[in-house]
Amino acid sequence: MKLTVKPGNRDKIHIYIDGEYQTTVDSLYFSTCGVKDGAELSAAEAAQFLREANERRAFNKGASLLSYQDRTRRQLVERLREDYGEGAAEAAADRLEELRLLDDARYAENYAAELLRRKKCAPRRIMQELLQKGIERDLAQQTVQELDFAPDMCIIELLQTKFAGKFSDENGLRRTIAALQRLGYGYGDIRSALRRIEDEGDEDECEWE
């Protein structure tokens, strides 16, 4: 089986075997892969070359995706699997982890901090979000435990900003409590924060019982 190449745009190299197009790789990879233009390959050698080339393409795509947006390993593998298959996706993820371009611990720490800072989510909700993103449970638990979290202060800030003026009557109060619970807060913490708001006179009278 004869392997031949044709230059493509920029650094692309188009690979042909016995005159039929097979795949496209970058010039750096082709110059270091050990296979030359015009090489005669056995069926097994050709299959191995194409498998490794596919892994390289998956790696390049993964690196490109991560340059735009950080992802968990599960998210990246699921995306790469669509175009390159399971084996290439996993191999690419392994290499990207070795290079620290893919790091679930870093992702979990940054995402948890963002959820706490921007949305004022409670640890329970943050835990759920991390698990949905593909973070392993042990890592998610560790990340949540390391958060600097004060439930009363977070709830009070939400009541004074996002929910300001929305809990002055019974229906509004119920909706506010439900929204806070969806953010992961327990009823006891919510009630405590509402008491402080009421005692400080920052809002009109509200009955939460």
My answer on whether 21 and 35 are in the same domain is: yes
91 to each of 15, 49, 111, 145, 150, how far by Cα in Å?
21, 15, 25, 31, 41
- Look up residue 183 and give its DSSP letter: T
My answer on whether 50 and 135 are in the same domain is: no
My answer on whether 90 and 122 are in the same domain is: no
* Residue 205 pLDDT > 80: no
What is the number of domains present in the chain? 3
Query: Which position has the token pair 């390391």?
Result: 146
Domain of residue 62, CATH code: 1.10.10.10
Residue 206: its pLDDT value, please?
A: 47
Domain of residue 113, CATH code: 1.10.10
My answer on whether 58 and 33 are in the same domain is: yes
My answer on whether 24 and 77 are in the same domain is: yes
CA distance 201 to 74: 48
What are the tens digits of pLDDT across the range 48-88? 999 999 999 999 999 999 999 999 999 999 999 999 999 99
pTM of the model: 0.82
My answer on whether 141 and 52 are in the same domain is: no
What are the tens digits of pLDDT across the range 150-184? 898 999 999 989 988 888 788 989 999 999 999 99
* Residue 209 pLDDT > 60: no
My answer on whether 89 and 9 are in the same domain is: yes
What are the tens digits of pLDDT across the range 106-125? 999 999 999 999 999 999 99
My answer on whether 54 and 122 are in the same domain is: no
Query: Which position has the token pair 């069926």?
Result: 43
My answer on whether 11 and 98 are in the same domain is: yes
- Show the domain range for 133: 103-149
